[in-house]
A and B are shown apart, each in its own frame.
Chain A
Amino acid sequence: MAPEVNEIKTAHHLYAVEMIDITKRFPGVLANDRVTLRVKAGEIHAIVGENGAGKSTLMNQLYGLYHPDSGEIRIFGEQKRFHGPRDAIRAGIGMVHQHFMLVDTLTVAENVVLGSEPVKGLNFDLNRAREEVRKLSEAYGLYVDIDAKIEDIPVGMQQRVEIIKTLYRGANIIILDEPTAVLTPQEVEELFEIMRNLKKSGKTILFISHKLNEVMEISDRITVMRGGRVTAELITKETNEREIARAMVGRDVVLKLDKPPHKAKDVVLEVRNLWVKDNRHLNAVRGVSFQVRAGEVVGIAGVAGNGQTELVEAITGLRKVENGEIIFLGKNVAGAHPRQLREMGMSHIAEDRLKYALIKPFPAYYNAILGRHYKTPFASGAFLNHREIKRFTAELMEEFDVRPRIIEHLGGNFSGGNQQKLVVGREIKAHPKFMVVAQPTRGLDVGAIEFIHRQILRMREQDVAILLISMELEEIFSLSDRILVMYEGQIMGEVRPEETTVEEVGLMMAGKRLEEIRGGKK
């Protein structure tokens, strides 16, 4: 890479952002412990760190959503006190949150201007709003459908709307909190292109990510956090993934696990010619058949939105089966109730943890027993057995390293990664025979990913049948015994990871059948 010189100075000051000695405490948690962060004007500055390290908390203070208990914030050298986002916006700061802050029922244009609407007389000037959005969208290559409602557009576009929102308010400093966690690899590339454009026009960007390869690709400098503190400040060009990982976790991380050979046993789940419809009543799964055996991991690869979600929902009893059979332990369970399936030994790590896996206002100890709350030892008759529930939760949190280790902590107040560990722990501790694992490491840090991967392989060794759905090819390759590739609701082919290449799987993900690819080679 050619050495980048910042010709465009947003201001004469060297640092766009200085957060000095910031401390922030939540009940029972020291989220930021005398953190100091310095971001140069015009750079892309990455912030990495384990789940719960305090990254989002730090950014929320920069955006005025939380107030530091102590410490100082300077923007272009000027000391600031933000009483709310309005003050931060005025100081030229914009933030794209980890969980998007969009109003689903309003249009793209309305969402962008909300809070600083153009007016004509007494009326809200929708046409000018649309015009402004169109201009910004063209200037920075942020393609959006201006008049669509948020609930009707894909995640990638929602994110672009969030970025336009910050630009519309004249942001010079843009915070992106885990923007890539929900994107497909293709969308990530588009986002990076946008980030480069923004940098070229003099914007300063704070970028949070758990994916070290992304950090290496896009950032200029890196601040590493662990347990609420800064553990390293690195210059991207002078470091590598291994060094960052060590600073994050405090030990060497195995970035790639090796998978011991293990013999698959009897068929536990068989899907025969399955058809499932999506919410719009279109066929999302179109005649899918496969088997999963005890002690093997079957991975389903594919670009998001090719029927994986509907397939999982059909298997786990959350969605109606239009046609076909799902044979679980020798019994056709198409249309069975989720509780019946759980009773039979199925467990499910859901893709969308906030929607299906976790109840935000419930304490950890209720979240930890959901799905088994009505059974001994957690209940006797109609009553919950709180002593046992709490003991079990403490054990789970210890075993799966859920932090903070407070059983009363509310589900919604755990950091994203720790929510996931709680859910994974709950599902594994149900001692299933068959497990559906969807996007298990979305939003997790490298240490947590290693941990969860180890758990999945441990289950495999204990002869649990595992169906893994993931958009991360690396994850699919390192865990699966067999890989199925889904495209538009159909399976394009089945391959073994040691006998295929990423390119071949990539071609199938784009809609080529295995026979066509291999046939073409001869």
Chain B
Amino acid sequence: MRVVEAVLSIFINPQFYKIALTVATPLIFASLGGVFSEITGVVNIALEGIILMGAFTSVVFTYLTGNVWFGVLMAIVAGLLMALLHAWGSIKWAGNQVVLGTALILLSQGITGFLMEPIFGQPGQTDFVGKIDEITIPGLAKVPFIGQVIGEISPFVYIAFGCVAFGWWLIYKTKLGLRMRAVGENPEAADTLGVNVYAIRYFGVLMSGVFASLAGAYLSVGEIGQFKELMSGGRGFIGLAAMIVGKWNPIGAMLSSLFFGFFGAFANQLQSLQQIQVPANVKPLFDTIPFILTIVVVAGVVGRSRPPKADGVPYEKSA
């Protein structure tokens, strides 16, 4: 009984919801990146690698300049470069998008691992280099419960929701968005109407680089102020799962990210309950909860959620 009570007590603690939001934030960025790329027809599993690069780059430039926001800006630049590589290989050269994405993940793991020693003089993880502080929303912070959840929180959380709104508007309310959706569904048709299929796809992939790098920057300078090797920890893939469950719609992707965030936070809180005696060697199993959940949810939803028809198919013009 005491266990049940303790578990329930998790849900009445505002701190739990705040953690859920912070767990969800990088997933929101990542899934939004997935939406932007795949809606134009390019599968981008490189997100995982771009997140890692973003996390690393922001720490490096924060370390070098002492300006955290400059670190974030450089993370975006790095994300754009990675995305450009992916776009170039998969659009210009019509390469296999999954293979390319995998190569980029391995590349970013290699580069970040290798540069640890020369830059920071130690492998594994950096020291604390600086962190973006939580912001306090004056009126909101005083509201009971809600104030404790979102009254004082990392600005990245707000930026993430802002990006979702922007993404939704761009995709569903502008002519560029209409063209993106058309190109991902039937590039040939779009081409016969004079839409530049390649340019639209480049745009989608580059935007995915921006969003994924923000996810990375949040993980490092946004949350803990340091870089740890492989700290992206599969969030790129969970982001893609959230995108699928959310039916390639920014709002849907955000909602599923929140869902995953909620369970991530739950797993996290569960481990710290005193009432549950968790031997240290079993702890890693708790960390797999989000992944198991991903498999279950995606397997249940995937049949009903239809990807853009030309998703993953390179477009090659005929003679």
Number of B residues with CB within 8 Å of any CB on chain A = 22
**A123 CA to B174 CA, complexed, in Å:** 5
**Which of A26, A101, A123 lies in contact with B188, CB distance below 8 A?**
A101
B292 at the interface (CB under 8 A from A): no
B:165-204 near A, CB below 8 Å: 173-175, 177-179, 181-182, 185-186, 188-195
**Which of A66, A67, A84, A103 lies in contact with B189, CB distance below 8 A?**
A103
Task: Say yes or no: B190 contacts A103, CB within 8 Å.
Answer: yes
B319 at the interface (CB under 8 A from A): yes
Using known A-B contacts A104-B309, A123-B173, determine if residue A110 contacts B178 with beta carbons closer than 8 Å: yes
Give the nearest-CB partner of B183 in chain A. Answer: A103
List B contacts of A124 (CB < 8 A): 173-175, 177-178
Give the nearest-CB partner of A97 in chain B. Answer: B192
List A contacts of B281 (CB < 8 A): none
Q: Chain B's interface: helix, strand, loop or mixed, by majority?
A: helix
**A493 CA to B308 CA, complexed, in Å:** 44
A86 at the interface (CB under 8 A from B): yes
A89 at the interface (CB under 8 A from B): yes
List A contacts of B194 (CB < 8 A): 84-86, 89, 115-116
A65 at the interface (CB under 8 A from B): yes
**A226 CA to B200 CA, complexed, in Å:** 40
Residues of B within 8 A of A (CB): 173-175, 177-179, 181-182, 185-186, 188-195, 308-309, 318-319
**A122 CA to B169 CA, complexed, in Å:** 10
**A116 CA to B179 CA, complexed, in Å:** 10
Task: Say yes or no: A85 contacts B191, CB within 8 Å.
Answer: yes
**A84 CA to B182 CA, complexed, in Å:** 18
Task: Say yes or no: B181 contacts A115, CB within 8 Å.
Answer: no
**A197 CA to B175 CA, complexed, in Å:** 32
A366 at the interface (CB under 8 A from B): no
Number of A residues with CB within 8 Å of any CB on chain B = 28
Give the nearest-CB partner of A66 in chain B. Answer: B319
List A contacts of B188 (CB < 8 A): 101
Using known A-B contacts A97-B192, A103-B186, determine if residue A117 contacts B178 with beta carbons closer than 8 Å: yes
Task: Say yes or no: A114 contacts B193, CB within 8 Å.
Answer: yes
Task: Say yes or no: B185 contacts A115, CB within 8 Å.
Answer: no
A:197-211 near B, CB below 8 Å: none
**A26 CA to B318 CA, complexed, in Å:** 10
23 interchain pairs (CB within 8 A)?
Answer: A65-B192, A89-B193, A89-B194, A95-B192, A97-B192, A101-B192, A102-B186, A102-B189, A103-B185, A103-B190, A104-B185, A104-B186, A105-B181, A110-B178, A114-B178, A114-B189, A115-B193, A115-B195, A116-B193, A116-B194, A123-B173, A124-B175, A165-B193
Task: Say yes or no: B319 contacts A106, CB within 8 Å.
Answer: no
Task: Say yes or no: A114 contacts B190, CB within 8 Å.
Answer: yes
**A509 CA to B185 CA, complexed, in Å:** 37
Distance of A507 from chain B, by nearest CB (Å): 40
Give the nearest-CB partner of A122 in chain B. Answer: B174
Using known A-B contacts A124-B173, A124-B174, determine if residue A85 contacts B193 with beta carbons closer than 8 Å: yes
A63 at the interface (CB under 8 A from B): yes
Chain A 435-449: CB-based contact to B (< 8 A → 1; otherwise 0): 000000000000000
Distance of A6 from chain B, by nearest CB (Å): 29
**A134 CA to B177 CA, complexed, in Å:** 23
**A84 CA to B318 CA, complexed, in Å:** 11
List A contacts of B178 (CB < 8 A): 106, 110, 114, 117, 124
The 3 nearest A-B residue pairs measured at CB: A86-B194, A115-B193, A101-B189
**A376 CA to B210 CA, complexed, in Å:** 55
A:17-73 near B, CB below 8 Å: 26, 63, 65-67
List A contacts of B318 (CB < 8 A): 65-66
Task: Say yes or no: B181 contacts A119, CB within 8 Å.
Answer: no
